Structure 1
Amino acid sequence: MTAIDPTGSAPAAGDPNADPNIEPNIEPNIEANIEANIGPRGDSNPAQYDASATSAALGNMAEGAFATMPAMDPSRLDGEGHVLYSAAYSHYARRVLQARPEVAEVVTRAATAPLTRAWMEARLSALHEPAADVDAAAGRALRRLRAEVMCAIVERDLRGAATLAEVTGAMTDLAELAIQHGLHVLGNDLAATFGRPTCQQGSEVQELVVVGMGKLGGRELNVSSDIDLIFLYDEDGETQGGTRSLSNHEYFIRLGRRLINLLSEVTADGYVFRVDMRLRPNGDAGPLVCSLGMLEEYLIVQGREWERYAWIKGRIVSAQDSPHAQRTAALLERLTTPFIFRRYLDYGVIAAIRSLHAQIRAEAAKRSGGLAGHGMNQRSFNIKLGRGGIREIEFMAQVFQLIRGGQDPALRVRPTLEVLAVAVERNLLPAGQAEQLADAYRFLRQLEHRLQYRDDAQTHHLPTAPEEQHAVALSMGCEDWQALLERMHALQEPVAQQFEATFADPYAEGDTQPAEELWPELVREEAATRASQEGPDETDPESTPCQRLQAAGFSDCTGLYDRLRAIATSVRYRALSETSRARFDQLVNRALDLAARQEDADSTIARFLDFLDAISRRASYLSLLSEYPQAMDRVAHTLHASRWAAAYLTRHPQLLDELLDSDALAGAPDWPAFRQRLADRLAASDGQVETQMDILRREHHAETFRVLLQDLRGTLTVEQIADRLSDLADAMLEVTLQAVWRQLATRHTETPRFAVIAYGRLGGKELGYSSDLDIVFLYDDPHERAPEVYAAYARRLITWLTSHTAAGMLFDVDTRLRPNGEAGLLVTSFDAFRRYQFREGDNTAWVWEHQALTRARFCAGDAEIGARFESLRQDVLCQPRDADALRAEIVEMRGKVSDGHPNPTALFDLKHDRGGMVDIEFTVQYLVLLHSRAHPALTRNAGNIALLRIAGELGLIDTTLAGEVGDAYRLFRARQHQLRLDGHAQARVPAASVANETARVRALWTAVFGDG
């Protein structure tokens, strides 16, 4: 059945195999023969049979005489004739072979290689005998084909020759072939009377779109499964070309009903597949067939949570080779994808799956007489719905899809094992846990097939009769039933533990609730006060609510109570759904508890309430914090530690997801893997510009937040933070360059000859959290349209980087350091840039532009241009310069910078005041420009501290003073960084706190520039 129906499958009426508790008849001596022919490990050990006496021999098997058949060389699998394992183990296969002895030879030959769709099509063609009764002829052929396929699958599987993927793939191919063949035959038959359905304009033939759900959609069909189908059509119209006309809706209903009967009606040849149509819109109460428009309206207006799970595996299984079918498939994907996969991280599915699983577990217990719970010795244990069963593994995979599939298309794959593999690739699931889930899944699916092989019954219950238990154990390669149970339990227990850890109610035991629930009491009292319009003044510090807040650790209890009361009476709060309000109440109460533990409880709770107010209308964020108390704890730490971090998280609440990944918070980024992953995600959304821009922003915010969290933990130095933020900016620029070029309609080449040069903080790899990007664009391309193409490219790139979207903004960009500044061209040819820097001609670079070049580097784009720029940069820096003229120009420039950043306060500005960071930077730039010709080591873009050390080692400045100023620069950056995290716009501190450092800096300035 599907992954969403708590009640299990829908058995065909009158099917005696539908009840999993009905035990099949057991032949007295068959188990001994199975052991003799299969062996305790299931190894291949065929025995010879007389093909001419097959029917008689099969008759003898039913009476327990199977062991009398002679054995033969176990290596001989030549199709000349041997005992069929399928007949020895499967009552169903034995009945088929008794009724149709010729199937033995078909199965013998088919079992030598994996079954393919082509083989099935050939067999169907051979079996289909045209007749006046189209339905009967097609049905007979399909039923006989199914019997052959089933026997061949059983044979290969029991011999150990078939993988799980082969078995489920073969059954899926059979179902698809049956559906497509049925539609073809029945459609031709209906066409004789009604013609073909067409669109309203009559210009295009319409087709019935059959969507396979559940395991059919996931290509995971088991050997005795029903198939979950939904019938759709594109648009209304009428049939044309027949003696009578029908509306498309009526025509497709007729076709759909005949297809269901063709597949599911039980005849003397059995059935093809049981068909379940209950997943269609409105289930049994809805029309058998609906248009795409009807489906879209239903999903938007009435679509329920469990239907999202169902549609994850939804896939068109009717023919898709016509233009109409391909167009319809695209339309279906466009309307179902937003329903299944939310654009945001949807943690609300955890509670929904928890609730659904509880229903499933209760139903399993009911079906098993209340004994489907924990333990190996349960009677009639359900391997699908029981603890650690198939359904729990499927839910473990689906939760990743439903939470993250809206943002990561790679998670939209259908097969369960593929989903687990992607989860590992995305670092959502540890490889060891995924392997445990996959091993259990394969084992349980194989066991499921062994149970169903016996009587072609859609059962998932373990047998209770000893003879059946022994047969099943042998077929699974176990010596006895106890060995099978022990192996099964060893695989299921990790599944159950993982499932319970993922879906357990975090507050079920109350362990993580704060001792006093302040917020619920405050809300209740406020509601009571509003109702009576009487009562004490709650803002009175002597009132009970304020006393409780003060006792909890808050100083401004009156102000806090006013804020809480404002929330409780706000329109936003009262507009929340009942579920969201309950979660919000829970989180406010927990926030009060967590904030009260901080030294600055008042400021922490103020930030907390701002944050909770920002996310209150996003049920998914409320769900995440409710489901993961550890995330709430980390939120508290983040809000307490930094005002800037609090504001950043409040602006980008989607970053809450990052608080769950402890490994990512501890490790260093893998930038090549990051770029590749980001490029893959952008490629998957090619042509969807807004989506791509949002992807870039979310990834950048997430990586920045990871750096920030490590920063707040104290695990990174200021230099390491700057390096990581600079590397992140480089990666974002590189990937954005590629994406924008693909979108550029005027591009004249597949690979742009274009490079981005970083200046300033990005160039010096000293980027901060809020730094803008100083960049210059160079190109080297002889094409006649190159200037206009690259200018358009640069403008588009800036738009992608700076635009505000639903996910925020990526970077502020400053391009004023390009030749001639704002008056110059946005992009510059490499040759023009070279001439400008070398002052060839009238248009030449200023000294301050050469100062800027000391901190410039290639950061993204064409690597060849980048290498040429680095060579050019070194040549420019190594030019001979007059010391006095250079000194005068740099001192003059320093004065202009000071004038542009006045400081009217008594505090010391770490960056701009005399003795601060700008003095150090200008000193280093002077030393680089003056001495690089004699000392090329100074051209390295190694940062100010390293360049000071090199200058000291070269004897250009006092070595001790160089080290002291380097330490001062490190301290200034650290203090500046902390002030920015605390939300200060200016990096200013008491002058006395840095008096020693500023004195060293001024001493170095005087030593280099004199008293000017």
Structure 2
Amino acid sequence: MTLPALAELPAILLPLVSRSEQSFRTAVAGLTEGDHGFSTWTPERWAQFARVTGASDFVIEQSVRDPLMLLSLVQSGELDRPFAPGELCGQIAAAVNTAQTEDELGRVLRRQRARHQVRIIWRDLTRQADLVQTCRDLSDMADASIDQAYQWLYSRHCQQFGTPTGRRSGEPQQMVILGMGKLGAVELNLSSDIDLIFAYPEGGETVGVKRALDNQEFFIRLGQRLIKALDPMTVDGFVFRVDMRLRPYGSSGALVLSFNALEQYYQDQGRDWERYAMIKARVVAGDQVAGAQLLDMLRPFVYRRYLDFSAIEALRTMKQLIQQEVRRKGMADNIKLGSGGIREVEFIAQAFQLIHGGRDLSLQQRPLLKVLGTLEGQGYLPPAVISELREGYEFLRYTEHAIQAIADRQTQMLPDTAQDQARIAFMLGFADWDAFHEKLMFWRGRVAWHFAQVIADPDEEEGADCEVVVGGEWLPLWEEAQDEEAACRQLEEGGFADATKALKALAGLRGSPQLRAMQRLGRERLDAFIPRLLAQAVEHDNPDLVLERVLPLVEAVARRSAYLVLLTENPGALRRLLTLCAASPWIAEQITRFPLLLDELLNEGRLFKPPLAPELAAELRERLTRIPEDDLEQQMEALRHFKLAHRLRVAASEIAGSLPLMKVSDYLTWLAEAILEQVLALAWRQTVAKYGTPLRTDGTLCDPGFIIVGYGKVGGIELGHGSDLDLVFIHDGDPQAETDGAKPIDGAQFFTRLGQRIIHLLTAQTNSGQLYEVDMRLRPSGASGLLVSSLGAFARYQENEAWTWEHQALVRARVLVGSQDVGQAFEKVRAQVLGKARDLAKLQQEVSEMRAKMRDNLGSKSTAAGTGANAFDAAAPFDLKQDAGGIVDIEFMVQYAALAWSQSHPPLLRWTDNIRILEELEHEGLMPVEDASLLREAYKAYRSAAHRQALQKDAGVIPGDQFADERRQVMRIWRELGLS
């Protein structure tokens, strides 16, 4: 929402402003050391004064009590500009350094707090700071107050009790102070308390004094002194109310715990609400380095590394507790805890973080508005929902600040006096209370509606007083509460063609070892899921097929029952799962092997709309930047999950008809390129870290001076769902020059090891399988050649030693990733090699002989590779790829044409894919329009059929009577080109 403008001062506040001005003038008149610029206040400044003091008793009270404070804020210009990073902390640190005693420390902190609170409220109420900046200033003030008080106390505490030292490390120990809630998220409000947790790295005792103190006792005493410095109300006010109840065991627990004790507690006894709270945890004071280590230790507790639908019940319980509290008397006017209040927006965001944050690292952040942006950007919630949540939240937060600006009281209750109601309406930019209240209730209604939708119980029908269990009619069958005859009859009535087989499959699942080993909770989840599965299966045309393909998945995930919860809680996801499995056994097998793909079914819009190439690359880069550079295992898993997820999205889109064949290949090729870009970056970083950077022949550093060239389907932008990658690695480094690292090796060795590293990253088997199968046999000299060639060696080989079939392969060669300058040099080599003048008769003979060998070895034997008299019979097989008139014939014709005519027609070398080369052949007048068009359409039809076969897990072989006309025409054009 836009920043709410201040309305005109209502008449009811004018007397208040008049009294405030008179009181302040009297206070200034009492100063003995000049007016500090007061006499030069402009009308604009007095207008600000009127607006602020009309709204806030706190500001006028502080200004009358200490007029110099406000005068200095005006004179320094601090009311009229945002602070630079670190400026606020610097001011508090300078003030704290003047304190000599703990009493003085308390006074200094309270006066600093009053000064900055006046500044922040002033800038908020004059609309010079928006919500985010106000919250940041308040959080910065809290961080600085806590940290400066801690540092001041720590040094004096060490003088008194000695320096705490780790028993294991022998290093001095500092405390780590975690800020929770709004402080942790940098979202503090105008009169918020602060939720803190104290910790220290390791056990031990103090050194440097006669009587050593246990580290825990040292830090408990220090923590008590820190709370005393911040919390109590004195004549100078307070700094921050400190709440320590979020620590382990709450109020009854030790005030400070070691890292190990914290980790043990959360691992053994941590509850889901503590996971929920820990999302916001941030190191606000003390040892920042050790604090970062602590948060890394606790991250697995907060964010489970799998899709965490096991948190659903806990979240639902929390939600019910919120709803119960909302119904309590007196909550209607509470804009935080009441219905449609701030807490409900926070719950919506954090529920998604708990469930998905372990998998989606972009959700592992604290500020709520940023989380909402991520939920929109990643497709978890529609833009319209996010827009309402964001605007509603901002309106509520502005209202909260307005309420608290009045008297600096920690309250979220709407006022009940006419004067304060007028103040709230004025601060939010409304003419009167009624207009404000109408808008407030609108936003609370929208927030409450969205809150009701989050983790709503799928068994609860809207408006119903009782629960109706979805699929409940199938529960007796699953639980064997009826005899076999009745069960079969129910299955037959549901549309099962072979009821006995279906019943036997369910019994087999029920008696499988995986199910017998399930814990009680898992079995309850399965019992809730199977009736829903059957209820949706019978809605399909072939429920037998659905059950046959989905039950292996159920058995595979039985021990990880969070996936069953995912499908139970999301009927739409279950519906999409059954639809995709019914359409493709390949998809069913993929999800069974990699159940983490179930996550992709949650968002229908994202599932059937894979991103374009730049978005793919950016998404993968962002995902990898969130993983520590030294965590290779997690990087490899992230790459594999990314590939699996996006390949599923492409297959789903193909099945749904939203992606035509050419786009399917485009997406799969873009996916491979995005992954290769990151694999090269990872391999380069790891190899350079070990050996140093290689040099070029001119002595400059390679950066990286290396390219990955794609041949075959990836080069021709024609990847299919199970395609491997035909790759060639080329560099332009100096093979003899040594790298500049601590363990130098020559350039040839470096690039060989880089290539080996790339292949390892691509082909290593992990829990999520391998990225791609890689075929390197198209490199110079094939399997017996060097793994990585220099650009010069590659050019010499292609010019002097390569066979014709290798030049055919070069037609489809394309730089996928790597150095731009090396890529351009490769393109020149390719153009030079392919553009040579050739003896057409010899070329025809060599291409024909190679094609004949392939047909003999790979084609259908029973039809002489599609050339026999029976080749077009319905009972005969037709191999879409290898038989005469099929895919490879078209590819060979395109390659022949490129080799034969590119010397005089260079545009033939512009592309590497068959479709566009055929278009160029037509455009250059080298092939009749009808023939070029026929070859393009036949090629697309064949490949589309091959894709369908792959999704059905069938070989690329179809009945011989299919594509008969296309095959005959392809064979005719083959002959007319002089090929045999």
Q: Which of 915, 920, 938 pairs up with 1:968?
A: 938
Aligned amino acid, residue 741 of structure 1 = W
- Secondary structure of the structure 1 residue equivalent to 2:479: helix
Q: Is 1:270 matched with 2:237?
A: yes
Asked if 1:257 is matched to 2:214, the reply is no
Whole-Å separation in 1 of the counterparts to 2:761 and 2:436: 59
Name the structure 1 match of 2:778: 817
* Secondary structure at the counterpart of residue 327 of structure 2: helix
CA drift at 1:777: 0.9
Aligned equivalents of 1:412, 1:206: Cα separation in 2:
28
**2:340 equivalent among 388, 402, 408:** 388
Per-residue deviation at 1:993?
2.5
TM-score, normalised via structure 2 length: 0.88
> How is 1:671-690 mapped onto 2 (pairs within 5 angstroms)?
671-685=613-627, 686-690=629-633
For structure 1, which runs of at least 5 residues remain unmatched after alignment?
1-29, 40-44, 58-69, 320-324, 373-377, 529-535
Report the Cα offset of residue 776 of structure 1.
Answer: 0.8
CA distance in 1, matches of 2:118, 2:926: 89
The range that moved more, 647-656 or 198-207, is 198-207
Matched, 1:997 2:959: no
Mapping 1:493-572, distance limit 5 Å: 493-509=445-461, 517=472, 519-525=474-480, 538=484, 543-572=485-514
* Alpha-carbon distance between aligned partners in 2 of 1:456 and 1:795, rounded to the nearest angstrom: 65
In structure 1, C-alpha distance between the alignment counterparts of 2:895 and 2:114, rounded to whole Å: 84
Q: Which residue of 2 aligns with 1:741?
A: 684
Answer yes or no: is the 8 Å Cα contact 1:513–1:590 preserved in 2.
Answer: no
Whole-angstrom CA distance in 2 between matches of 1:643 and 1:282: 51
- Aligned-partner SS, 1:503: coil
Q: CA deviation at 1:248?
A: 0.7
What's the offset of the Cα at 1:920? 2.6
Q: 1:405 to 1:599 in 2, by over 3 A?
A: closer
Between the aligned partners of 2:927 and 2:272, the Cα distance in structure 1 is 71
Q: Contact 2:859–2:879 at 8 Å: present in 1 too? A: no
Q: Secondary structure at the match of 2:213?
A: coil
Structure-2 separation of matches of 1:625 and 1:367: 38
> Where do 1:497-896 residues align within 5 Å?
497-509=449-461, 517=472, 519-525=474-480, 538=484, 543-667=485-609, 669-685=611-627, 686-744=629-687, 745-746=690-691, 747-748=693-694, 749=701, 751-782=703-734, 784=737, 785-839=746-800, 844-896=801-853
Q: Kindly provide the amino acid, as one letter, of the partner of residue 270 in structure 1.
A: G
1:183 is displaced (CA, Å) by 2.3
- Give secondary structure in 1 for the equivalent of 2:726: strand
Which amino acid in structure 1 is aligned with residue 575 of structure 2?
D
Q: Render the CA deviation track for 1:709-745: whole Å, top value 9, x for unaligned.
A: 1100112222221222122222221232122211212
Deviation track 1:134-154 (CA, whole Å, cap 9, x = no partner) reads: 433322332333333333433
After superposition, what is the alpha-carbon deviation per residue over 1:358-380, rounded to whole angstroms, capped at 9, x for unaligned? 21231233252xxx4xxxxx5xx
**In structure 2, do the counterparts of structure 1 residues 367 and 208 end up closer, same or farther at CA, with 3 Å as the change threshold?**
farther
Are the equivalent residues in 1 in contact too, given 2:54–2:423 (CA < 8 A)? no
CA displacement at 1:819 relative to structure 2: 0.9
2:58 and 2:272 mapped to 1: Cα distance?
Answer: 38
Cα displacement (A) at 1:958: 5.7
Q: Is the 8 A contact 1:851 1:926 kept in 2?
A: yes
Counterparts of 1:594 and 1:607, CA distance in 2? 14
Aligned residue runs from structure 1 range 71-90, under 5 A: 74-76=43-45, 88-90=54-56
Q: Structure 1 residue aligned with 2:364, among 412, 415, 425?
A: 412
Write the distance in 2 (CA, Å) between the matches of 1:546 and 1:413: 52
Paired residue for 1:232, among 189, 199, 206? 199
Q: Distance in 2 between matches of 1:648 and 1:729?
A: 18
Q: Is the 2:280–2:366 contact (alpha carbons within 8 Å) kept by the matching residues of 1?
A: yes
Following TM superposition, by how much is the alpha carbon of 1:551 offset from its aligned partner in structure 2, in angstroms?
1.4
Cα distance, 1:897 vs structure 2: 1.1
Select between 223-232 and 722-731 the one with higher mean Cα deviation: 722-731
2:817 counterpart letter in structure 1? A
Counterpart Cα distance in 2 of 1:506 and 1:616? 21
Closer, same or farther in 2 for the Cα pair 1:56/1:947, shift >3 Å? closer
| Structure 1 residues 35-184: aligned runs within 5 Å | 35=14, 51-53=25-27, 74-76=43-45, 88-93=54-59, 96=62, 103=69, 105=71, 111-114=79-82, 118=87, 122=91, 134-184=101-151
Residue 851 of structure 1: how far off its partner (Å): 1.6
**Distance in 2, Cα, partners of 1:455 & 1:50:** 17
Q: Which residue of 1 aligns with 2:303?
A: 341
Question: CA separation in 2, counterparts of 1:503 and 1:55?
Answer: 61
State whether residues 47 and 73 of structure 1, in contact with CA within 8 Å, keep that contact through their aligned partners in structure 2: no
- Tell me the alpha carbon deviations over residues 183-233 of structure 1, each in whole angstroms, 9 at most, x when there is no partner: 234334433432221122684221222111111111222222221111111
Matches of 2:87 and 2:907, distance apart in 1: 70
Q: Please say if 1:286 is aligned against 2:241.
A: no
Contact 2:457 2:569 in 1 (8 A): yes
Corresponding residue of 1:365: 327
- Partner SS state of residue 230, structure 1: strand
User: 2:869: which partner in 1?
Assistant: none
- Secondary structure of the residue aligned to 1:239 is strand
Residue 950 to residue 235, structure 1, CA distance change in 2 (3 Å): closer
Is this contact kept in 1: 2:99–2:108, CA < 8 A? no
Deviates more, 1:844-853 or 1:678-687: 678-687
Q: Deviations over 1:590-643 (max 9, x none)?
A: 222332233332122111112222233334422332232111111111011111
1:927 pairs with 2:892:
no
Contact 2:96 2:105 in 1 (8 A): no
- The equivalent of 2:873 in structure 1 is none
Matched-pair identity in %: 38
Q: In structure 2, give the amino acid aligned to 1:873.
A: R
Alpha-carbon distance between aligned partners in 1 of 2:945 and 2:632, rounded to the nearest angstrom? 40
Give the structure-1-normalised TM-score: 0.85
How far does the alpha carbon of each residue in 1:723-778 deviate from its partner, in whole angstroms, 9 at most, with x for none? 22122222221232122211212233461111111111112221100010111111
The 1-side partners of 2:550 and 2:111 are apart by: 68
Cα distance in 2 between the residues matched to 1:628 and 1:853: 49
Q: What is the alpha-carbon distance in structure 1 between the residues aligned to residue 933 and residue 92 of structure 2?
A: 85
The alignment partner of 1:318 has SS state of strand
Distance apart, 1:252 and its partner CA: 1.1
Note closer, same or farther for the CA distance 1:790–1:587 as it changes in structure 2 (3 Å cut): same
Distance 2:41 2:261 in 1: 62
Deviations 1:656-704 (A, max 9, x none): 2323334334546331232133223323322221111112112222221
| Structure 1 counterpart of 2:884, one-letter code | R
Question: 2: CA distance between counterparts of 1:962 and 1:123?
Answer: 78
Q: By how many angstroms is 1:908 displaced?
A: 1.8
**Cα deviation per residue 1:522-543 (whole Å; 9 max; x = unaligned)?**
23326x9xxxxxxx5x3xxxx1
Letter in 1 for 2:957: R
Helix, strand or coil: the match of 2:815?
strand
Q: What secondary structure does 1:316 align onto?
A: strand
* 8 Å Cα contact 1:848-1:893 kept in structure 2: yes
CA distance in 2, matches of 1:127, 1:882: 89
CA distance in 2, matches of 1:125, 1:780: 57
C-alpha distance after superposition, 1:261-289 (max 9, x if no partner): 23222333333222211111121232111
Alignment partner, residue 914 of structure 1: 884
1:875 maps to a residue whose letter is Q
| CA shift in 2, pair 1:958/1:190, >3 Å | closer
* 1:743 alignment partner AA: Q
Residue 352 of structure 1 is matched in structure 2 by 314
- Shift of residue 104, structure 1, vs aligned partner: 5.2
Q: CA deviation at 1:102?
A: 5.4
On the 8 A contact 1:38/1:474 being kept in 2, the answer is: no
2 CA distance for matches of 1:926 and 1:555? Answer: 53
